[in-house]
Amino acid sequence: MAVTHYELIILGAGPAGLTAGLYAARARMNHLLIEKGAEGGQILLTDWVDNYPGFPDGISGFDLAEKMAAQAKRFDLNSMFGNVTSMDLTQKQKRLELDDGSVKTCDTLIICTGARPRPLGIPGEKELTGKGVSYCATCDAPFYRNMHVAVVGGGNTAVQEASHLTKFADKVTLIHRRDELRATKILQEKAFANPKLEFIWDSTATKIDGTDGVEAIHLLEKSGKESVLKVDGVFVLIGVVPNNTMLPLDLLKADAGGFIPTDIETRTTVAGVMAAGDIRSKEVRQVINAAGEGATAVLAAEHYLNNLS
């Protein structure tokens, strides 16, 4: 069995992982970045990013990911595609097993496996993702100026994002499966006072219609009544799901949602193991803070390595 050792392994190539890779490569650390899919993470699902510094005219999610990867590779980023199936973080040298049978060990590990939007799982959702179905109002709201959009959800994120959408859309309809919101009271008060925000209660989405774009969303009330709401976009905001199947969640003291808690320097409860990006237990999940956490994690890894005895 082939075993290769590194000072640092970065797990995941989203914005956090690519930034960590950039910092590690520039620092000439003996490193490896492992990604199981495509470089870029969730930003590949975003058609256009208007709020990342340095791009005054905006940039597509694909292009931003490509530029992040190219910048890291300019400094000889050492990366590979592979799927980590299990890991042992109980020893001083961390051990990762991949599905090709190889084993990688490291002194420090940065977990950047990210998260994915929790989908509704209804017909039309997957086919129209990026064509009117979105999971981030902060990212995509400007595309819906003077339009009618629906928001599915009832928690803090859904209510905040619905309120944000009213700055652009003519009308926002929030659809919630219960008869009251789960968001904090102050958010609810602001939402109920917003004249551009309407509510549909006790209803679940069952289907999204459209070909080149969203045209309507089908609803089912608790009473059994069905209806169709004509909309130009659907924002699904029912939470995210962490990519954590390969992680030792008990050892890392994962929170109830399966996310990994860290200190302000991204250090987990396991010495030499950091977590950055959407896998972290936190409130804000944006490209910009994921990138910052990736940089912080490498600096924390360097500090750990410098103090190894």
Active site residues: 136, 139-140
CA proximity to 292, closest of 71, 53, 75: 53
Alpha carbons 179 and 189: distance in angstroms, whole number: 15
Axis-axis angle for helices 287-306, 15-26 (nearest 10): 40
Residues whose CB is less than 8 angstroms from the CB of residue 258 and which lie 6 or more positions away in sequence, other chains included: 241, 242, 244, 249
Give me the helices (H) in the chain, please. Answer: 15-26, 61-74, 125-128, 137-140, 156-165, 185-192, 287-306
CA proximity to 35, closest of 152, 102, 107, 113: 113
Q: Name the strands in the sheet holding 214-221, side by side, starting at the edge strand that comes first in the sequence.
A: 203-210, 214-221, 226-230
Residue with token string 């051990």: 95
Structure tokens at 92: 């001083």
**Please, what's the largest Cα pairwise distance for the chain?**
68
